[in-house]
């Protein structure tokens, strides 16, 4: 009986590298609970308050960059591979959407 290991896809390698570059808990906090919410708020505010939007966007990225330089001691992923954060974000949103569809489409038994 032979065991073969599947070669990881490009996406799986991106996710593994992203996780490797984001291991410090303070950097993780700055990304998940501060930086990315600021960037999301910036996108929502863009049509209504463009200057606030720009400030939130730049501030969010500044905090995430600070997390890399001060805690991880590495270069932010977006500077090394610009598409990676967007691919990861799309995968997260897609997964959330699929989870929501499964919940809405599930059958309830009496």
Give me the pLDDT at residue 110, please. 52
Q: Which has the closest alpha carbon to 38: 64, 72, 65?
A: 64
Whole-number average pLDDT of the chain: 83
DSSP letters for 10-32:
HHHHHHHHHHHT--SHHHHHIII
> Does 81 reside within a domain?
yes
> Does 77 reside within a domain?
yes
> Does 79 reside within a domain?
yes
Question: Judging by beta carbons within 10 Å of its beta carbon (0-12, 13-18, 19+), is residue 76 exposed, middle or buried?
Answer: buried
> Does 109 reside within a domain?
no
> Does 107 reside within a domain?
no
Given a contact cutoff of 8 angstroms between Cβ atoms, the answer to whether 53 and 27 are in contact is no
Give me the pLDDT at residue 103, please. 57
> Does 14 reside within a domain?
yes
Whether 89 shows a pLDDT value over 80: the answer reads no
> Does 2 reside within a domain?
no
> Does 4 reside within a domain?
no
Q: How many domains does the structure of the chain reveal?
A: 1
Given a contact cutoff of 8 angstroms between Cβ atoms, the answer to whether 10 and 87 are in contact is no
Give me the pLDDT at residue 3, please. 58
User: In terms of residue numbers, what domain contains 53?
Assistant: 10-102
If you average pLDDT over residues 60-86, what whole number do you get? 89
Give me the pLDDT at residue 77, please. 81
Given a contact cutoff of 8 angstroms between Cβ atoms, the answer to whether 35 and 64 are in contact is yes
Whether 55 shows a pLDDT value over 90: the answer reads yes
Entry pTM: 0.71
For 17-43, how does the pLDDT look when each residue is reduced to its tens digit (9 = 90+)?
Answer: 878 888 999 998 999 899 999 999 999
Given a contact cutoff of 8 angstroms between Cβ atoms, the answer to whether 55 and 38 are in contact is no
Of 5 and 82, the structure prediction assigns the larger pLDDT to 82
């Amino acid at each position: 009986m032979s065991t073969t290991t599947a070669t990881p896809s490009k996406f799986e390698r991106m996710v593994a590298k992203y996780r490797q570059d984001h291991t410090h808990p303070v950097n993780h906090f700055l990304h998940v609970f501060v930086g990315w919410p600021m960037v999301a708020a910036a996108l929502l505010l863009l049509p209504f308050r463009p200057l606030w939007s720009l400030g939130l966007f730049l501030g969010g990225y500044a905090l995430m960059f600070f997390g890399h330089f001060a805690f991880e001691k590495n270069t932010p992923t977006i500077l090394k591979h610009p598409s990676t954060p967007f691919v990861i974000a799309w995968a997260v949103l897609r997964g959330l959407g699929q989870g929501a569809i499964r919940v809405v489409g599930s059958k309830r038994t009496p």
